[in-house]
Structure formats: structure tokens, C-alpha cells
A and B are shown apart, each in its own frame.
Chain A
Amino acid sequence: MRKSTALPILAFFLPSLAGAQILPEPPSVDTLPNGLRLVTVRWPSPGIVAYFTLVRVGSRDEVEPGKSGFAHLFEHMMFRGTERYPSERYERIIQEMGADNNAFTTSDFTLYTVTTPGQSLPRLVELEADRFAHLSYSEQAFQTETRAVLGEYNKSASSPDLQMWEALSELAFTRHTYGHTTMGYLRDIQRMPGSYSFSVQFLRRYYTPDNCTIFAVGDVDRDELLRLVSERYAGWTGRRDTPQIPLEPEQAEERSRHLSWQSATPPKILMGYRVPPFSTANVDTAALRVLYELAFGPSSDLYQRLVVAEQKLLSLGENGMDLNRDPGLLVVDAELREGTRFDEITGAVTEELSRIAAGQIPAARIEEVKSHVRYGMQLDLETPDDVAVLLAYYAAMDGDVLAVDRFMTQLGEVGPADVARVAREYLTPTRRTTVTLATGVTR
């Protein structure tokens, strides 16, 4: 249940790119014999603890035909209780704790987020260990929850964005599972009630201790927490399945699709460029992050020209840049003012990326971007939740719980030549997939 991401966008994580200097002290990382990892971070938050559990499973792992949206559905099922703590009792205890309990799913991972007054932590560890190791639900409960997922789809479907992201994913990925959104196809959601036995398999295949990491942030004693976690999760066993995710062939030519929307909407455009997977082994991901700011951020020449001066756009780059485990998309979004043509915008974007590819960005401008990112990160990391989400997000990308530190190190190394090179290599029209949408008109 609980909310989740319907769309493969996580812009709300992205302004914060943390690094070695971000946390007042390094996180403690412990691995239990069953493979479960515990990351503990002390963070000033009198009496409050974020206790988040990362599961490295997302819509990327949905390789079976007709099962799109299953990782997200399963996130809902995790709130359906166990034999010891049936869902009503579980909810009652969570309420008594005064905890904020939720979860969300993306294309690459699922994150369970509980924030609680610290005095409840021992009880919470017990509850979480129980539901991860002993989840148990009836077929009726499963079927009821599939209808809540349909409700979530319907909630999102009043916005044209869902339809646009569905089209962009499908068009850009002909084989890889990034070809469907995290929410899944409506036709698959409608068939979910008949997939009870598959859901039980899904639990065994992916909800295993070696596929999970706990992030505990805030007013927390690492030694005491490790003792509790070791004790409570000790009986949890299993090994993660490795699905055979089809490789996506290189894209050789530009793809595009236009959609019609029956309600009022500003014309919208998504331009997705095929980019390599998240990596800290080289500078490419960090350089793309800098490039995104340079080209599409609010201080960029393009934004100031198209949104502020010429007023051709209502918005540009609102969604920010997402990261992916596998080769994915760097997506530029824009909303057009009446009278602006889509080709004006694609042309302007192409022209700006060519200018960057030609190495015309001064080093001082790149240093401004780095400064912006560093200060932005400090401003954004306020609560235990902020820290836990950031660490989990980067850990989900390559499995290393300290990936964010290495990413920040790479960011510090980015120079003008790197930015120009990634623009030349990845942000070319032949690697682009474009989806446009407007009210009731096919162009």
C-alpha cells in the first residue's frame, strides 16, 4: 500500500549529491551472516530515528511477460502483515509508536521508510524483522490490494505525465525492462488479482537478506542497534534470484511519438537521451549531472532564454536528472507556451548541446555548478529521512553503501573536457527519443 512512485523519476533526490564531507562522521557498515547489511549514521535529530530498508528490486526486475508493475504491487503487500502481526495489529502498533510509515518503488529499487520517535526503535526492529522474514497474506488480501494499486494508477492517470512516461519508456527500450514504467501497464494491473502464486514466488526470489540494506539514521546507538538487528533478523534466510534482464541494443536513430490528451494541458515534451548506467568507476555519470545543470538548470542560458526572456516555455527541466543501474535515459522535460512549436524546442536543445559538446563552457561556469551542488546538498540534508534516502538511493545504484561518497569524489574531478566529451558521446540526436503531447491534436 503506501504510496509509491508511479513514474520513473526521482528528481526529489537529485538536488542533493552528498559526499565524504556531508556526514559529520562516517557511517558504520555491518554485514550479518545472512548477508543483510546495516548502515548506521549518527545525525542530530533529538529523539527521532529514520529506519529505512532498501530492497534492490524494482520494475527493472519484472522480466516475465504480463507482470509489469509487480515490484510496486509487492511493496503494497509488505503492509499486509504476518501470522504474528496481522495487518491490523501491525498498524495498531505502528500507530502507538507515532511512526511515519511508508514506502516507494522505482525502476531499480524499493525503499521502506519508517521514521519514529527513538524510544520505539527496539519494537520497530522486531516488527520490521518479522515482516521481512515472515510476510504472510491470504489470496483475498492480495486481491484486495491489487485494487488499491489500480486506484493508484487511476489517481495518476488524470495527469498526462503518466501517459507520456509510458510512451517514452516503451519507445526507447524495445527489449530491456525499462520499457515499462514502475506502475506497470494498465492491462497488467487489471490482471493482477490472478497472480497470487506469482506474488509468493516474487517474495522468495527478491525479499532476501542479501538483497536488503537497513539504513538507521538519527539519534541511534550503533552497538545497541547492531545487537538488536543481529538478534531479530538472524532467522531470515534466502538468496537473491538473478533475473535475466534483456540487453537493449544501441540506439542508431532518433525515435519520436506524438500523443493526444483529451483534457486541457499545455503542450508537453520529453526528450530522453540514452546514457550509460550509473558508475563511480569513471567520471561519466558525474559529468552528465553537471551537464544537465549547465544545459537545463534555472541558471542555464537555455532556461533564461526560453522561459524568462523569450517566454516560449512555461517550464524546463522540472523533473531533474534520474540515475539508473542499467543504461537508461537522461530526460529533459518542458511545457510549452501557446504558439511555441515542438521543433523550436528540440532545435534549441540540440543547438545548446552542440555548443557544450564543442567545449565552449568556461571552467569557471563548471565550478559554479559544483558549488551549487555542494551547497544545495548541505541545505537539503536536514532530517534523518533526508540522509537515509540519499544513502539508499546511491547504494541502490551499484550496491555499495558508500557509493555517494565515491560519486562526490568523481564530481569534484569533472572538468570542461569531461562535460564536452559526454555531450558528444551521449547527447546526440540519434540517441534521442522524443515524446510530445498536446490537447486533442495529432501532429
Chain B
Amino acid sequence: MKGDGSRFLGFLMLCAACGGAPQRVDRPEVAETPPERLDEPVEMRDPQSRTVTLRVTFDAGSADDPPERLGATNLAARLIAEGGTEALSYTELVRALYPMAGSITAEAGRDQTVFVGRVHRDRLDAFYPLFRDVLVHPRMDPEAFTRLREEAKAALTLELRGANDEALGKEVLQSMLYAGHPFGHPELGSETSLGALQLHDVEAQRARVFCLGRARLGIAGGYPADFAARVAADLAALPRCGTARADLPEAPRVSERQILLVSKPEAASTAISIGLATRVVPGGADHPALAFAFAFMGQHRQFGGVLFRKLRADRGLNYGDYAYSEHFQQDGWTRFPLANTSRREQYVSIWLRPVKPEHAHFALRAAVRELGRLVANGVSEEDMERTRTFVGRYYQLYTQTESRRLGFALDSRFYGIAGSHWESLRTAWRTLTRDQVNAVLRRHVDPARLSIALVAPRAEQLAEAIARDEPSPIAYESPKPEEILAEDREIAAYPLQIARERIRVVPVAEVFR
């Protein structure tokens, strides 16, 4: 275990030594000692609704994994939701839920975990005891543990490494931003750690982190008036936390640009993720301006962003290009964020969808250069007003479903935001000034300190080309306007200035070992 564990740490060593001066912390205070009782539930009762949604969040995530038990929190959450109850085996639970199409799911993040129950209001009486027992009387069944551990292993070592280069790039980026930090490993854990995890580890983790003092309850939909009090009383049977949650250390300060190139010789294209850890979290004074600027740069899966226009619409380099002011997970098939993935620390990022390998150097240069221009030149008055109109209206679409509204309300609690997080953002954007946006960009986004994750074939060759800042001219199959060609010449010669020793090439099989 020790040997394998050190391999994992070795992978993270790329920026383990990247120290630096502390910056102003822009994040909410965390309670020193969690009270052993639930906060007042978040209620969104709507007698017209034909559904009921329950969300129980815990201030717990993979950041709480013990050092040699990476993945324990995620596995505990899965085992609670998908392992049956003391009264019912998992098969019996599935069959009890099936005729009512009720669902009980768990999603563990880096810093927050949520259990979600949904059912038609007509079947709430039959559904609720099942939901309650899943949370407070989970079966913690050995066979279910084996099944879920093997699923987690396959998700990490087969799916992530072998079948989803974009997701792999995003995870590798986070491992760089948070080297040596509790956010530095995926929720799934590591291959070695998953191999060693035992049921008793997961049971201990459940008792330690999915406990009353870390829980928040939210209920929405067509439920009876006295229902919330009943649920809150039942949740009192959760384990007691006993101790306060540890403070989160600050993310390491990356002093200059660095690249981690995952070598995947068989890849047909190159996945690119770029990022920088920040101290800006929702609820912080600088967050509205940062969110505004990154929406301008590239709102997720929308087509008006700077990056999308330049890389895809003008040049046809790939399928899409987006930017994020904080961690973002897409909710199903929508273009909106998944609720309850809150974190005490955040990062900004750029996601370039895969490009042809011969365009990787050019695309990387284009994105880094564009971010540099944004920070240096700021947002223009015209772009300011156009983006203000866009985000003010578009963000209304975030809260269309009962479950998302409820989840976001719980996120507001996590961040200490009074009222709706999205509404407070829209309110702040109305009066935001160009100077504020540009000052926040300069304060928190330093393009000289970017971390870059690439999943690429011919990785060594790309590493050398980047290190030498070789020109990366691009050719098209059709004529382009002179202004694009002129800009291409600038991009092709744009100095990334990343020394070879700041570029690490890692075989894909070694990632998250």
C-alpha cells in the first residue's frame, strides 16, 4: 500500500513545491464546531406540484477521504443509496420503488454530498419510509460493497482512462491545481486505494462524515404541511459527528505555467483543460464580477462566447470552447449546472473540446492568449452591456425544475448566502461596472500561473514543441479573411514560455494509480 500510495503522490508532485505568498481569502467562514442538530429545513412547498423532492446534503466529500482510503466517501454514499436498508435488500428496495418510479440517488463531490429522493405526491407515503431507511438505517451490505467498489474501479481505470479523454483532462487539471491538497484526487479515489478499501473503512467513513452535524435538509413540491418536521425528526437518528470538520488548507500557489501531458498514443485527438485555483467562491464579494467575465469568455454550451467564436465558429478547430468561474458539472442533458457540488475553494477553467493533434499547440496558444488579452485589456463597454443583458436573462433558465431550485437553495446555505444564489448574482450584475469586472480579473486571474492538462497522442513530440515555443502555423481547406489569417500568425508565434521541466508527460495507465 505504501509503495503504491507514493506512486500516486508522485504523480501529484508536479506542483507540490509550488509555494507562494498567501492571498486574500474570499470565502465564507466555516463553523468551528458543527452543532449536533439540523438547521431549519429549506422548504419549497407548492400544493400545485404533483411531485415531491427531498434533498439531504452533507458537508462532506472526497476531501474528507482518509489519506490511504481515497474514494471512501464516494463509496460510502453509493453504498448507502444502492445497498439496501436494514429491512430490505437492495433488490427488494429496487422492486419497492419500481412501480412508483421513485428514485433515490447519491452524488458525492469534492466537498459536498447529496442524497436526492423524488416521487409522485400520490406515493409519498409509501416512498418516504424507504428514503428515510436508506439514510438512517442503511444495510451496508458486504456483497453490495463489492459490487460498488468494482464499479468504482472500472469507472476510474477503464472508463476515465480509456473512454473519456475530456473528463480525464478535467480530472487531471484538478489534480494539478490541488496537488497535495484534499481536492487533489478524484471522488472515485485512486486505483491502489480502491483495491485496498474494505467494508469497515466505508462504514467508518459513513459514521464520520454522513452525520447529523454536517447535514442539511431540503424539501420541495406537493407535500403535506407537517412533513418537513417529520423528516427532520427522523434524520435525528443519523450518527453524531463528534468532532468538527477540519479546515480546508489553501490550494498550493502555482508560481508559473505548468503542463501535465497524459500520453495516450491511440488517441485520435487532443483534449485540453486549462485552469487556475482562486479564492473566489459564490457569496464572496468578487464572485459576481468573475462569473460575469467568464460567461462573456464562454458560457457553457452556448455559442456567443469569445472562445467559441474564435476557435470554432471562425476556424472550425473543434466542437466547442467554454470558460468557467467555478467548478461546473452539467446536469444531465441540460446546459445548466448540477446543484450541490459546492466547494469551499474554487478554480477558474477553460475547456477546449478535442482538437486534431496537429492543431493542439495552436489551439492551446489561442486560448491562453485570449485569456491573457481579457485580463490585460478587460471587457469593453459594449461587451459589458451585451453580456449584462445575456446573463440577466439566461440565468433565469437555471431554476426551471423543482429539484434544481431546491438544490441551489441548499447551496446558498453552504455558502452562507441569504436568499437565492442566482437571484443575488442577477441583482449584482445589474449594477456591476466595467472597472469592477476588470479589476477582479486582474486580482484573481494571472495567466502566467496557469495549469494545463492535455490528453494527447505523440505526447513527447508535443511537449518538446511547446517547450521550444516552436511556431505552430495552421492551414485551412478554404480561404479565410485576412483578419483571421493575421491573427493566426500572432497566435502561431505566441510564446507560451513553459520550460521543459515544467512539462510532465505521464502514461495514461499511470494516471490516478
A-to-B contact residues, CB < 8 Å:
1-3, 12, 44-45, 47-48, 79, 87-88, 91-92, 94-102, 115, 117, 120, 139-140, 143-148, 150-152, 154-155, 157-161, 193, 261-266, 297-299, 304, 307-309, 311, 314, 335, 337, 368, 371-376, 378-379, 382-385, 439
B353 at the binding interface (Cβ < 8 Å): yes
B312 touches A1 (CB 8 A): yes
CB distance from A422 to the nearest CB of B (A): 21
Whether A264 contacts B304 in the complex (CB less than 8 A), given A99-B394, A144-B316, A375-B101, comes out as no
Q: For B90, list chain A residues within 8 Å (CB).
A: 308
A310 CB to nearest B CB, Å: 10
From A159, A311, A374, contact of B147 by CB (8 A): A311
- Interface residue from B95, B162, B313 paired with A265 (Cβ < 8 Å): B162
Q: Which chain B residues (392-450) contact chain A, with CB distance < 8 Å?
A: 392-397, 400-402
- Cα distance A154–B320 when bound, in Å? 12
Interface residues of B in 92-132 (CB under 8 A from A): 94-95, 98-103, 118-120, 123
| Chain A CB within 10 A, most for which of B164, B264, B319 | B319
Of the listed residues A101, A158, A299, A314, the one surrounded by the most CB atoms of chain B closer than 10 A to its CB is A158
Q: Are A298 and B304 in contact (CB under 8 A)?
A: no
Q: How far is the CB of A17 from chain B (nearest CB, A)?
A: 11
Which residues of B124-164 have CB atoms within 8 Å of chain A's CB atoms?
143-144, 146-147, 150-151, 154, 157-159, 161-164
The interface residues of chain B lying within 8 Å CB-to-CB of A378 are: 50-51, 101, 120
Determine which of B95, B158, B313 lies in contact with A1 in the assembled complex, contact meaning CB atoms within 8 Å: B313
Q: How far is the CA of A239 from the CA of B461 in the complex (A)?
A: 54
11 additional A-B pairs beyond A140-B478, A154-B318, A266-B158, beta carbons within 8 Å, are A95-B304, A98-B395, A102-B335, A148-B318, A148-B319, A151-B269, A151-B319, A158-B163, A263-B264, A314-B151, A378-B50
Which chain B positions have C-beta within 8 A of A157? 268-269
Asked whether B286 is an interface residue with its Cβ less than 8 Å from the other chain, the reply is no
Chain A residue at smallest Cβ distance from B120? A375
The number of residue pairs between A and B whose CB atoms lie closer than 8 Å in the complex comes to: 216
Question: Considering the chains assembled together, what is the distance between the CA atoms of A91 and B312 in angstroms?
Answer: 14
Chain A's closest residue to B389 (CB) is: A96
Q: Is the CB–CB distance between A314 and B154 below 8 Å?
A: yes
Task: Give the complex CA separation of A386 and B480 in angstroms.
Answer: 40
Chain A contacts for B144, CB-based, 8 A: 308
B267 contacts chain A at the CB level, 8 A cutoff? yes
Assess A95 versus B390: contact at CB under 8 Å? Given A159-B163, A368-B98, A375-B101. yes
Shortest Cβ-Cβ A-B pairs, 5 listed: A98-B393, A147-B316, A264-B162, A143-B478, A263-B162
For the complex, what is the distance from the CA of A261 to the CA of B161, rounded to whole Å?
13
- Asked if B315 lies at the interface with its beta carbon under 8 angstroms from chain A, I say yes
Q: Give which listed residue, B98, B119, B303, contacts A101 with CB less than 8 A.
A: B303
Contact of B99 among A2, A337, A368 (CB under 8 A): A368
Q: Is the CB of A372 within 8 A of B98?
A: yes
Contact B150 A155 (CB under 8 A): no
Docked-complex contact B396 and A117, CB < 8 angstroms: yes
Judge whether A382 and B402 touch: CB under 8 Å. Answer: yes
Q: Jot down 30 A-B pairs with beta carbons below 8 A, ordered by A.
A: A3-B319, A45-B400, A48-B396, A48-B397, A95-B302, A96-B386, A96-B389, A98-B390, A99-B393, A99-B394, A102-B301, A140-B479, A143-B476, A144-B313, A144-B476, A148-B319, A151-B269, A151-B312, A151-B355, A155-B269, A155-B319, A160-B163, A161-B163, A307-B147, A311-B147, A375-B101, A375-B102, A379-B101, A379-B118, A382-B51
Cα of A157 to Cα of B119 in the assembled complex, Å? 37
What's the minimum C-beta distance from A161 to chain B, rounded to whole angstroms? Answer: 8
Alpha-carbon distance A379/B335, docked complex (angstroms)? 20
Residue B354 at the chain A interface, CB threshold 8 Å:
yes
Q: In the assembly, what is the distance between CA of A380 and CA of B471, in Å?
A: 51
Q: Does B65 contact A (CB under 8 A)?
A: no
Residues in chain B near residue A12, CB distance under 8 A: 332-333
Interface: B377 (CB within 8 A) = no
* B147 surroundings in chain A (CB, below 8 A): 307-308, 311
Report the nearest B residue to A193, measured CB to CB: B477
Question: A264 touching B161 by the CB < 8 A rule?
Answer: yes
Is B274 interfacial (CB 8 A cutoff)?
no
* C-alpha gap A97/B303 in the complex (Å): 13
Bound Cα distance A157, B162 (Å): 11
Pairwise interchain contact B162-A439, C-beta atoms closer than 8 A: yes
Is the beta-carbon distance between B150 and A159 smaller than 8 angstroms?
Answer: no
Residues 459-493 of B contacting A (Cβ, < 8 Å): 476-480
Determine if A96 and B390 form an interchain contact, defined as CB atoms under 8 angstroms apart. Answer: yes
Q: Which residues from B are CB-within-8-Å of A146?
A: 316
Query: In the bound complex, what is the Cα–Cα distance between A139 and B391 (angstroms)?
Result: 33
B326 at the interface (CB under 8 A from A): no
Contact of B120 with A379 in the complex, beta carbons under 8 Å = yes
Task: Please determine whether A264 and B164 come into contact, CB atoms closer than 8 angstroms.
Answer: no
The yes or no answer to B165 lying at the interface (CB within 8 A) is yes
Q: How far is the CA of A309 from the CA of B123 in the complex (A)?
A: 28
Residues of chain B with a CB closer than 8 A to A371's CB: 99-101
Contacts of A91 in B (CB 8 A): 303-304, 309
CB distance from A19 to the nearest CB of B (A): 14
In the assembled complex, the CB of A157 is this many whole angstroms from the nearest CB of chain B, namely 5
B271 contacts chain A at the CB level, 8 A cutoff = yes
Closest-by-CB residue of B relative to A104 is: B333
Q: Which residues of B contact A373 (CB under 8 A)?
A: 101
Report chain B residues within 8 Å CB of A45.
Answer: 400
How distant is A145 from chain B, measured CB to nearest CB, in Å?
Answer: 6
Q: Known contacts being A44-B48, A159-B163, A160-B163, is A299 close to B95, with CB within 8 Å?
A: yes
- Choose one: B123, B166, B302; the contact of A155 (CB below 8 Å): B166
B234 at the interface (CB under 8 A from A): no
Q: Are A264 and B479 in contact (CB under 8 A)?
A: no
Judge whether B317 is part of the interface by a CB distance below 8 angstroms. Answer: yes
Within 8 A of A (CB), among B372-400: 386-387, 389-397, 400
Q: Does B260 contact A (CB under 8 A)?
A: no
Cβ-based interface call for B356 (8 A): yes
**Chain A residues with Cβ under 8 A from B118's Cβ?**
379
Per the bound structure, the CA–CA distance linking A201 and B444 in Å amounts to 51
User: Measured between C-beta atoms, what is the minimum distance from A217 to chain B in Å?
Assistant: 12
| B95 and A148 form a contact (CB under 8 A) | no
Interface: B510 (CB within 8 A): no
Chain A residues lying within 8 Å of B314, measured Cβ to Cβ, are: 144
Q: When chains A and B are docked, how far (Å) is the Cα of A148 from the Cα of B319?
A: 5
A265/B91 contact (C-beta < 8 A), A115-B397, A140-B480 known: no
Q: Which of A87, A147, A311, A383 contacts B150 (CB 8 A)?
A: A311
* Contact in complex: B268, A154 (CB < 8 Å): yes
Contacts of A87 in B (CB 8 A): 313
B251 within 8 Å of A by Cβ?
Answer: no
**Bound form: Cα–Cα A400–B387 in Å:** 41
Indicate if the CB atoms of A47 and B119 lie closer than 8 Å: no
Chain A residue at minimal CB-CB distance from B123: A375
B390 and A147 contacting across the interface, CB-CB below 8 Å: no
Whether A151 contacts B318 by the Cβ 8 Å rule is yes
Q: Nearest A residue to B396 by beta-carbon distance?
A: A117
For the complex, give the distance between the alpha carbons of A379 and B356 in Å.
Answer: 41
> Chain B 292-313, CB within 8 Å of chain A: the 1/0 string?
0000000001111000010011
* Given A95-B386, A97-B393, A263-B163, also A304-B269 (CB < 8 A): no
Contact between B268 and A148, CB atoms less than 8 A apart: no
Q: Which of B317, B354, B389, B480 contacts A158 (CB 8 A)?
A: B354
Given A261-B162, A371-B99, do A154 and B269 touch, yes or no (CB 8 Å)? yes
Q: Are B269 and A143 in contact (CB under 8 A)?
A: no
Contact (Cβ within 8 A) A193 B478: yes
Q: Inside 8 A of B396's CB, which chain A residues have their CB?
A: 47-48, 98, 117
- A384→B386 CA distance, assembly (Å): 26
Chain B residues with Cβ below 8 Å from A92 are 304, 386
CA distance A337 to B155 in the complex (A): 12
